[in-house]
Amino acid sequence: MFLNVMYSEKEAFSLSLEKLAFVGDAVFELLVRERISAKYGTNIGEINKRKVCAVCCEAQAEFFRTIEPMLNDRENSVYKRGRNAHIGRVPKKSSPQVYHIATGLEAVFGYLYLSGQFDRIEEFAKRLNL
């Protein structure tokens, strides 16, 4: 991993939800890109279409429903804080409810990444249906 600064679980937990979601968005997209590029051919146009479909709010919300039963108490708390965070604008193609679920998911991935819980990210990644 690229992480130069590692946070303890407690420190990562206390970071702002905006920061956690910001980092988590990148972590989730990189995870999807990695899986798609390994699974599919070399047609970048096709790979990119699959990536866009997998990282959109609706797909993230659906993925969250898949891993929700796996969340421990701390992850669930991060998710709820992320889901309930005040968000300025919701993308036109998404409902506020779906966007909030996706933001909560991103916060969880940000929390896990910044606290060095890469094995946990991998557990969730195994549930990706790409």
Angle between helices 44-55 and 17-39 (to 10 degrees): 140
Let me know: does 127 contact 66? Beta carbons within 8 Å. Answer: yes
Total length of the chain: 130
H helical segments located in 1-130: 9-14, 17-39, 44-55, 57-67, 73-84, 96-114, 118-125
- In the chain, the N- to C-terminal Cα span, in Å, equals 22
Catalytic residue among 25, 63, 83, 98: 25
- Whether 25 is catalytic is yes
Residues annotated as catalytic are: 25
